[in-house]
Amino acid sequence: FRSYELPCFYGGDKVYMKTAGALKNAFGWSGTDNITSLNINGPLNEEDLIFIRNLSTVNHLTLKEASLPENKLSDNAFAGMNILTFSSPSNIMSVGSKLFSGCSKISSITWNSSIAIPSEAISDIANPNMLLYVKMQSYAPSSVKNVVVNGNAQSITLSDADGNNNFYCPTSFTAQKISYIHNYSMESGIGVCKGWETIALPFDVQSIVHPVNGIAAPFLKNDETAKLFWLNSLDGVSFTPASRIVANTPYIICMPNNANYADSYLLAGDITFSAENAMVSASDKINKGYKGEYVFVPAFTSVSKSNSIYPINRNQEYNGYNPGSTFVSDLRDVRPFEAYITTTSASAKRCFDITDVSTDISTIPLKESEMKMYSENGIVYIVSNKKMKIHIYDMTGRLVKIIDAV
C-alpha cells in the first residue's frame, strides 16, 4: 500500500491545511454556498486569503490555528467580508492597517497573538458595541472601550446607534460593570394597547434607572420603592407579566408615558439597564418564547426584514393598529437588543396581534387637575372649572366612557 497525504481537507467543522494555496480545493465536493463558520488549521498564503475574502456567506472566521507568510497580517486582509466575528492567528508578529475595511457587520475580534493590535488595524470599525478579546489589557488600543481580558471585562457599555451596532459574544465572560441605554418615547395606552417595544439583553439586569425619576422596576416585582413599568414574556399561551430581565431572553416592554399620569411616575427618555459582576452569555445560547406556530426570538445582530420576520410596529401606526401594539411581517429590519416573532407557516397571518395585553394603571397616580369628583346616592358628580374631556376607566385601566365637561 502507498500512503497519500492530502494537501487540504474539510471535515465539516474545520479545514485542515497541509499545503498553502490549496484552500479552494478543500470544498471541491461540498461547495461553499452554505458555509457560515470557517475554522482553518494550517498554512495559508495570499491566494488562500483572496479565496476567503470572497466567501460571502461566512459570518464567523477562526484562524487561531492558521499560519501566514512571515507571520504577518497585511493591509485590508479581510476587507469587505460579511463576518460578525474574527479570531486571529496565534503567531502573528506584524500587523497592517485597516484589516476589516468594509466589514459592515463585524462585532467581535478575538486577538490570539501575544503582541498588541495597532489602532490603525481596526480604525475603520465604527461599531460602538464591538468586543475585543485579548490576553493582556496592554494589547488593546485605548480607543476600544469594550475589552475582555482572559475572561473578564472591567466595563462594557452597550448602546443603540445608526449603522453597525451589532453585538455578538462568541465566548461568555464576566463583566465587573455592564450597561445598556435605550430611549423610550412612545405614548403608553390607557384603556388601549399602545407603546409596547421589545427588548433582549445579554446579561441578567440588576438595576434599571430613569435619569429624573430614579429606580424603576417591572410591575410584577412589587417594588414599593421603584417607579413601575410593564414587562411581559411569551409563555406558550400568551404574553404574561415578568418580574425581571434575564440574559438572552425576549420580552415586550412598555414605559409609562401619558399626559394623564403624574409627572413623577413618567419613564419616558433614556433608561439605563445595568449589572455588576455579571456573566455575559454567549450569543448562541438564547431563550425563546412560543405560541402555536409562532416563535419569539431575541436579536443581538441586525435581522433583515422578510415575510418570516415580524418586528413590532414601534413608532408607527399600521393598518389601524396603534404604534407598539402588533408584530408585522416584512415591516422593517430588526435592530440589536430588540426581539421579533418568526414562523415557518405558509398560512400565517401578516400580523401577530397583542392588543389583548393590558397596561393596568391602578397603581400609577394620575396627574392632579382642576376638577373635583364625588358621589351621592350612587351618582358620580364631576365639577370642573374649565372645558375638558374626561376619560373614565374601570379598575383594569380600560376606557369606559368619555365625557365633555363644559
User: In this predicted model, what pLDDT tens digit does every residue of 271-282 receive, in sequence order?
Assistant: 999 999 999 999
The pLDDT, as a whole number, for residue 106 is 97
Nearest to 85 by CA among 119, 62, 102, 112: 62
The pLDDT, as a whole number, for residue 359 is 73
Coil, strand, or helix at residue 264?
Answer: helix
Distance from C-alpha of 288 to C-alpha of 52, rounded to nearest angstrom:
33
Distance from C-alpha of 309 to C-alpha of 303, rounded to nearest angstrom:
8
Pairing of strands 72-73, 94-95: parallel
The pLDDT, as a whole number, for residue 387 is 59
The pLDDT, as a whole number, for residue 264 is 85
Distance from C-alpha of 264 to C-alpha of 97, rounded to nearest angstrom:
51
Coil, strand, or helix at residue 137?
Answer: helix
The full DSSP string for 8-67 is: EEE-SS-EEESSTT-GGGGGTTT-STT--EEEEEEE--HHHHHHHHT-TT--EEEEEEEE
Which three cell numbers, joined as nine digits, stand for 135?
Answer: 490576553
Buried/exposed 278-305: b ≥16 CB within 10 Å, e otherwise: bebbbbeebeebebeebbbbbbbbbbeb
What's 248's DSSP letter?
A: T
Sign of CA dihedral 262, 264, 265, 266: positive
Distance from C-alpha of 228 to C-alpha of 5, rounded to nearest angstrom:
67
The pLDDT, as a whole number, for residue 11 is 73
pTM of the entire structure?
0.87
Task: Report CA-CA distances (Å) from 110 to 20, 142, 147, 213, 325.
Answer: 23, 16, 10, 40, 40
Residues 6+ apart with CB under 8 A from 396: 358, 360, 362
pLDDT tens-digit profile, the chain (406 residues): 555 566 777 877 789 989 899 998 888 767 788 899 999 999 999 999 999 999 999 999 999 999 999 999 999 999 999 999 999 999 999 999 999 999 999 999 999 999 999 999 999 999 999 999 999 999 999 999 999 999 999 999 999 999 999 999 999 999 999 999 999 999 998 878 999 999 999 999 999 999 999 999 999 898 889 999 999 999 999 999 999 999 999 999 999 998 888 888 899 999 999 999 999 999 999 999 999 999 999 999 999 999 999 999 999 999 999 999 999 999 999 999 999 999 988 889 999 999 888 776 655 666 765 555 555 556 665 655 555 566 666 555 566 677 776 5
Distance from C-alpha of 119 to C-alpha of 389, rounded to nearest angstrom:
60
The pLDDT, as a whole number, for residue 347 is 86
Residues 6+ apart with CB under 8 A from 256: 188, 227, 228, 229, 265, 266, 267, 364
Coil, strand, or helix at residue 253?
Answer: strand
The phi and psi torsions of 208 (rounded to 5 degrees) equal: -130, 125
The phi and psi torsions of 71 (rounded to 5 degrees) equal: 50, 45
Distance from C-alpha of 239 to C-alpha of 231, rounded to nearest angstrom:
9
Q: What is the CA radius of gyration of the chain?
A: 26
The identity of residue 382, as a single letter, is I
What is the residue whose three cell numbers read 474574527? 86
Which three cell numbers, joined as nine digits, stand for 298?
Answer: 431575541
310-346 pLDDT, tens digit each: 999 999 999 999 999 999 999 999 999 999 999 988 8
The pLDDT, as a whole number, for residue 10 is 80
Distance from C-alpha of 78 to C-alpha of 103, rounded to nearest angstrom:
8
The full DSSP string for 200-229 is: --SS---EEEETTTEEEEEGGG--TTSEEE
